[in-house]
């Protein structure tokens, strides 16, 4: 039975962790994810979990400790943000290539410099090709729900990949919302116990973890890893179907909001979707056929499914809350454009980088994007395909 609570995103994730009761939590604090291990340390002190809670000297060490635990057959978790995620960079790749399903909570925050502690996706986007599955949440409810699904996805025999549960730093990590928390027993049954097939402490079939990949085998290992990421797409949908059956809330690879007959559409991720939905509703009331697509899953990227949803639109704007420094746009734009490239009919598409370092995103700003899309649909002229929104000297 669902329980109505008022929790921040960080406490919601920590609550999900408590309910799952992982074997190991290796922690190192960094704003704005620090509250997650802080809450969890309280659960340890109160005897509410049986987790081995390890305090280490860096984020590199926290993920390394999780890898050792996972290699030994344990369910291991940690949390981080921003430069902490960057400091884990080497170990992220080791975790994925070693097929160790660590679940990492990320309160997404801008990377330096200049130093900034507010939200954008420059940290998680910098690690998009590390081999981690990535789930993104619009609000605190989704952050909690994504975490409940995470272990089942990561640990599935056809996947066995690590996974990031991403929330928006401060916007969802610290803001308190009304959410539904499920009872502990139902959560434990839904997530299940971790039963790895092979691990270091298994008496039979001894194995090595993280061996040297000579040229004769390295590529095959990488291809197997790539196939596992492909497999994750169906596993995510299967787990979401069971989640809906168990808890009544529906999730897919993305949410298509008022897209049935949309001519103008925005593609974006995270908490900005709530603001953009309000703009879409106002525009619909004014007779504008507007819609939006909110990505929940960035890795594996749902290219064919997204292309099918967008191909009948006249104009699409991708909103990137991360600067790709490619001189062509941000990472979400690159993925979306790539998904559409072979469609026989496809919309005009532009990229707008916005919200960097916590820059505000309003309903008025969202509606200005649709105004630009309306002009593109009417004239066929995109103007600058790659631009920035909200810059003081060049605001849209």
Domains and CATH numbers, the chain: 3-247 (3.40.50.970), 254-388 (3.40.50.920)
* φ/ψ of residue 239, rounded to 5: -65, -40
Rounded CA separation 331/319 (Å): 10
Describe the strand order of the beta sheet including 386-388 as a list of residue ranges: 254-257, 290-295, 264-269, 315-320, 348-353, 386-388
Give the C-alpha separation, 249 to 245, whole Å: 8
Query: Which residue shows structure tokens 């699904």?
Result: 149
CA atoms within 13 A on the CB side of 332: 31
pLDDT for position 206: 78
- 222-231 burial: b if 16+ Cβ within 10 Å, else e: eeebeebbeb
Q: What is the pTM of this model?
A: 0.97
Distance separating alpha carbons of residues 148 and 19, to the nearest angstrom: 9
Strand spans (E) along 246-342: 254-257, 264-269, 290-295, 297-299, 315-320
C-alpha 5/C-alpha 180 separation (Å) is 6
Structure token digits, residue 121:
């996706």
The bridge status of strand 103-108 relative to strand 52-55 is unpaired
Q: What is the pLDDT of residue 228?
A: 98
Give me the tens of pLDDT residue by residue for the chain, a chain 396 residues long.
799 999 999 999 999 999 999 999 999 999 999 999 999 999 999 999 999 999 999 999 999 999 999 999 999 999 999 999 999 999 999 999 999 999 999 999 999 889 999 999 999 999 999 999 999 999 999 999 999 999 999 999 999 999 999 999 999 999 999 999 999 999 999 999 999 998 998 888 878 888 899 999 999 999 999 999 999 999 999 999 999 999 999 999 999 999 999 999 999 999 999 999 999 999 999 999 999 999 999 999 999 999 999 999 999 999 999 999 999 999 999 999 999 999 999 999 999 999 999 999 999 999 999 999 999 999 999 999 999 999 987 555
φ, ψ of residue 395 to 5 degrees: the values are: -75, 145
- Strands 103-108 and 76-80, bridge-based pairing: parallel
Biggest CA pair distance of the chain: 69
pLDDT value, residue 113: 85
**What's the CA gap between 330 and 101, in Å, rounded?**
28
Helices 89-97, 215-247: axis angle to 10 degrees equals: 90
Q: Name the phi and psi angles at 362, rounded to 5.
A: -115, 170
Q: Are 27 and 62 in contact (CB under 8 A)?
A: yes
C-alpha torsion angle, residues 372, 377, 381, 383 (rounded to 10) = 20
């Amino acid at each position: 039975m669902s329980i109505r609570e008022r929790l921040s995103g960080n406490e919601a994730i920590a609550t999900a962790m408590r309910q799952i009761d992982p074997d190991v939590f290796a922690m190192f604090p960094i704003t704005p994810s620090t509250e997650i291990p802080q809450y969890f340390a309280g659960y340890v002190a109160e005897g509410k979990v049986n987790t081995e809670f390890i305090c280490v000297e860096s984020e590199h060490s926290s993920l390394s400790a999780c890898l050792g635990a996972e290699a030994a057959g344990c369910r291991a978790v940690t949390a981080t943000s921003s430069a902490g995620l960057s400091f884990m960079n080497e170990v992220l790749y080791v975790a994925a290539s070693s097929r160790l399903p660590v679940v990492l909570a990320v309160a997404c925050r801008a990377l330096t410099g200049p130093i900034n502690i507010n939200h954008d996706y420059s940290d998680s986007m910098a690690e998009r090709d590390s081999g981690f599955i990535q789930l993104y949440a619009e609000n605190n409810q989704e952050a909690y729900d994504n975490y409940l699904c995470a272990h089942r996805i990561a640990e599935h025999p056809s996947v066995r990949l690590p996974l990031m549960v991403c929330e928006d730093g401060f916007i969802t990590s610290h803001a308190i919302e009304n959410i539904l928390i499920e009872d502990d027993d139902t959560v434990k049954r839904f997530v299940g116990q971790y039963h790895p097939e092979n691990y270091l402490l298994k008496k039979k079939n001894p194995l090595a973890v993280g061996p040297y990949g000579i040229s004769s085998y390295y590529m095959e290992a990488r291809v197997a890893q790539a196939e596992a990421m492909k497999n994750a797409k169906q596993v995510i949908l299967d787990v979401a179907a069971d989640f809906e059956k168990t808890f009544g809330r529906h999730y897919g690879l993305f949410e298509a909001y008022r897209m049935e007959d949309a001519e103008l559409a925005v593609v974006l991720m995270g908490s900005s979707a709530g603001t953009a939905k309000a703009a879409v509703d106002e525009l619909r009331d004014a007779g504008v056929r507007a819609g939006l697509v909110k990505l929940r899953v960035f890795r594996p990227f749902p290219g064919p499914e997204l292309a099918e949803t967008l191909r009948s639109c006249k104009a699409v704007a991708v909103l990137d809350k991360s600067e790709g420094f490619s001189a062509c746009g941000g990472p979400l734009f690159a993925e979306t454009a790539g998904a559409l490239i072979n469609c026989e009919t496809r919309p005009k598409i532009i990229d707008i980088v916005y919200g960097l370092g916590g820059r505000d995103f309003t309903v008025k700003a969202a509606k200005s994007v649709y105004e630009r899309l309306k002009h593109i649909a009417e004239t066929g002229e995109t103007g600058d395909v790659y631009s920035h929104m909200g810059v003081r000297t060049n605001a849209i």
